[in-house]
Amino acid sequence: METRTLLKADVKTLLHEASKKWEVFAPFSEPSGDVNFRQPESADPGAFEGLTLDDLPTLIPPKRLFFPQSEKLFEFERGKIRETPHASPKLLFGMKSCDLAGLLFSDGFFAKDFPDAYYLSRANDRLTVVKGCLQPPRPGSCFCSSAGTGPFSSGGFDLQLVDLGDRYAVEVASEGGARFVADHARFFAIDGDLGAAIADTKAKAAKALGTGIEFGKAIELMATRDFEENYARIGERCIYCGACLYTCPTCSCFNVFDRAAGGSGARFRSWDGCVFEGYTREASGHNPRAKKASRTARRYEHKLKYDPLVAGRSGCVGCGRCLDSCPVGIGMSKFIREITQGTEEM
Amino acid sequence: MTTEPVRNEYLPIPAVIKDIRRETFDVKTFSLELGEPHGGFVYRQGQFAELSVLGVGEVPISITSSPSREGILEFTIRAAGRVTRAMHELGVGDLLHLRGPYGNAFPFEELRGKNLFFVAGGIGMAPLRSLINMVLDARGEFGEVKVLYGAKSPGELCFKEELSEWRALPGVDVLLTVDRPEAGWKGPVGLVTALWDAAGLSPTNAVAILCGPPIMIKFAAAGLSGRGFADENIVMTLERYMKCGVGKCGHCNIGGQFVCTDGPVFDYAQVKRMPEKEGVF
């Protein structure tokens, strides 16, 4: 793989330059203490001031850039339908390897069978720049090294940043990545053989982000066993707020609804969630999956049993957001510990 | 990631209501004619479409007309929720919007030469009618056809004229039952499964095709199994709350499958493999 270097001190200038062509999204530290993966607030050079490439947890994964929390599907007026356009080139700078894995999983889901025009038009002309973690952004919650999604991506990105102290090694993995490097050539130096330094950083990171989570074992167990007792117990504890679903990089359930007044209006879709009681309720009142235990089972079995069966890989990328966002301490890493170690974590 | 532009599957096309027939106090059959562009709406028996009343919403509705009758597109709709109630407010000449067709279909070629037992409960007759008329349009190619149809009350039986027409055809029998008889009802009272003997139910060279409320399907499928029908010869179409109809919104998933794209038609062997906690019945 072709490699360049990028000085850390140059990153904000580079992004300001890139923002003339791209909608740039990157992690920003907010005054509230939150970290959001978002666009700068203005076109000023100073707008990248809050940018952070430290190993901090972003609240919402980049999924929302392609599958927004709520979006207009089309407008209508007196029976005539008007499609709403979406596409624009997006640069996703400094995303984490787990989030790239989530995005690639979502790409596959939205592209298969009946391709989703809204998601795909937004994913068109997308450039992903991964920044591998050196420390876990969600200690105790995230487990990318177990899930096989990090701390560095093994592929699927355009560019990947490897921390070498005052600079990043930049791994160039695609034509799009090479074009970006060429377009901003003054920022990207050729620095001789960095192979050993890159391998050293990656090895240290793998060690620092190692967890005892037995992900592979969990997938095997889920394929053959029904953890009814766990679902019943966790189902009683869950408050069904949906935070785990909304912060999940691969959850894709949505609701569709119309808003109209006086013959004109629009059709929207918005995030929905399989754990909600009304999710499967029919007009007759019949609800095939009304029980809390069934809805809880759905969430874990979808990610750890059916996704491996249908998509060939788990929809859990080990980011840890479900546990970090849960008001009552439920999360995937705990569930995996429960079933692999026979403990009660929740 | 660079992708080619794809067809926007969520955009419906206009459809003009050409005729409305009242079936029961809360069921109407709508005949639709597609305006341009009709996008080549070619459907198979047992498929469904997503129908919209713009501004109110969109619902999946099974197609009740038959592919063997070209140019006819009918939906039999019970006023059950917000959108279907709004549909019942519409008149001839009004617009619906439609996209599809979606889902798999009832077997047809595989049924040639077989005796067919159709088992319907309530509005479940709507999708079965698509296949029944298709079979009857090629009457000589099939064995005996028995239609077993149960409703809550005599007034809630749909397609009454057609039921009489079917019954008059050679080798076709229509057996009706109701939960609550009304004055003048001379037929049997009880579940559709009580019609097995009267229908001369036999698994020999036969396939049963079911649609109805979950509880009816549950008992009918088990009953047919008890009468010697192989699981593969018990075919059913499932209903589930749906939004998109194209395997994306997630609402209709059961295990690793979507009722909208993997179904809605499944055989009993497939249904038995579905996880019980997903509440198939």
CB spacing of A115 vs B9 below 8 angstroms = yes
State the best of B2, B3, B216 to mutate against chain A, taking most chain A CBs within 10 Å: B3
| Beta strand pairing call for B57-62 and B115-121 | unpaired
Please indicate whether the domains covering B13-102 and B109-237 agree at the CATH topology level: no
| Beta strand pairing call for B27-34 and A254-261 | unpaired
Task: Compute the average pLDDT of residues B42-58.
Answer: 97
**At B106, is the pLDDT very low, low, confident or very high (cuts 50, 70, 90)?**
very high
User: Is B252 a residue whose pLDDT tops 60?
Assistant: yes
Task: Compute the average pLDDT of residues B97-125.
Answer: 97
Mean pLDDT score across all residues of chain B: 94
Q: Is the peptide bond before B37 cis (omega within 30 degrees of 0)?
A: yes
User: What is the pLDDT at residue A79?
Assistant: 87
- Cα angle A179, A317, A181; round to 5: 10
Alpha-carbon torsion angle A245, A246, A251, A252, nearest 10: 130
Which tokens hold the place of A123?
Answer: 């994913």
Length of chain B: 281
Task: Compute the average pLDDT of residues B213-222.
Answer: 94
User: What is the pLDDT at residue B37?
Assistant: 59
Q: Is A5 helix (H, G, I), strand (E, B) or coil?
A: strand
HSE-CB of B151 using CA atoms within 13 angstroms: 24
What does the alpha-carbon distance between residue B201 and residue B188 come to, in Å, rounded to a whole number?
16
**At B232, is the pLDDT very low, low, confident or very high (cuts 50, 70, 90)?**
very high
Nearest to A93 by CA among A65, A135, A117: A65
**Residue for token digits 């795909």?**
A120
User: What is the pLDDT at residue B39?
Assistant: 55
Which tokens hold the place of A251?
Answer: 């959850």
Nearest to B130 by CA among B33, B42, B46: B46
CB spacing of A272 vs B250 below 8 angstroms = yes
| Residues of chain B found within 8 Å of residue A262, distances taken between Cβ atoms | none
User: Is B1 a residue whose pLDDT tops 70?
Assistant: no
pLDDT tens for residues B160-195? 999 999 999 999 999 999 999 999 999 999 999 999
Task: Compute the average pLDDT of residues B91-98.
Answer: 96
User: What is the pLDDT at residue B279?
Assistant: 85
**Distance of alpha carbon B156 from the chain centroid:** 16
DSSP state of A344: -
Nearest to A165 by CA among A194, A130, A208: A194
What does the alpha-carbon distance between residue B50 and residue B78 come to, in Å, rounded to a whole number?
15
| Residues facing B253 on adjacent strands | B258
**Chain A contact for B244, CB < 8 A?**
yes
Topology of domain B109-237 in CATH is Rossmann fold (3.40.50)
DSSP one-letter string for A205-228? HHHHT-----HHHHHHHHHH---H
| Residues of chain B found within 8 Å of residue A257, distances taken between Cβ atoms | 57
User: What is the pLDDT at residue B71?
Assistant: 87
Alpha-carbon torsion angle B60, B61, B65, B70, nearest 10: -30
What does the alpha-carbon distance between residue B66 and residue B133 come to, in Å, rounded to a whole number?
6
What does the alpha-carbon distance between residue A240 and residue A295 come to, in Å, rounded to a whole number?
10
Which tokens hold the place of B203?
Answer: 């698994």
**Chain A contact for B194, CB < 8 A?**
no
**Distance of alpha carbon B259 from the chain centroid:** 14
CB-nearest to B9 from A117, A293, A309 is A117
State the best of B4, B277, B280 to mutate against chain A, taking most chain A CBs within 10 Å: B277
- Residues B50/B260, Cβ–Cβ less than 8 Å: no
Could you give the C-alpha distances from A299 to A7, A63, A234, A276, in angstroms and in order?
Answer: 43, 18, 11, 11
**At B197, is the pLDDT very low, low, confident or very high (cuts 50, 70, 90)?**
very high
Could you give the C-alpha distances from B32 to A101, A242, A341, in angstroms and in order?
Answer: 45, 40, 59
Instruction: Output the CATH code of domain B13-102.
Output: 2.40.30.10
Domain ranges of chain B: 13-102, 109-237
| Residues of chain B found within 8 Å of residue A111, distances taken between Cβ atoms | 3
What are the residue ranges in chain A where pLDDT is below 70? 86
So what's the ipTM on this one? 0.94
User: Is B2 a residue whose pLDDT tops 60?
Assistant: no
Which tokens hold the place of B123?
Answer: 């509005």
Provide the shortest C-alpha distance from residue A82 to chain B (in Å). Answer: 9
CB spacing of B214 vs A288 below 8 angstroms = yes
Q: Is the peptide bond before B264 cis (omega within 30 degrees of 0)?
A: yes
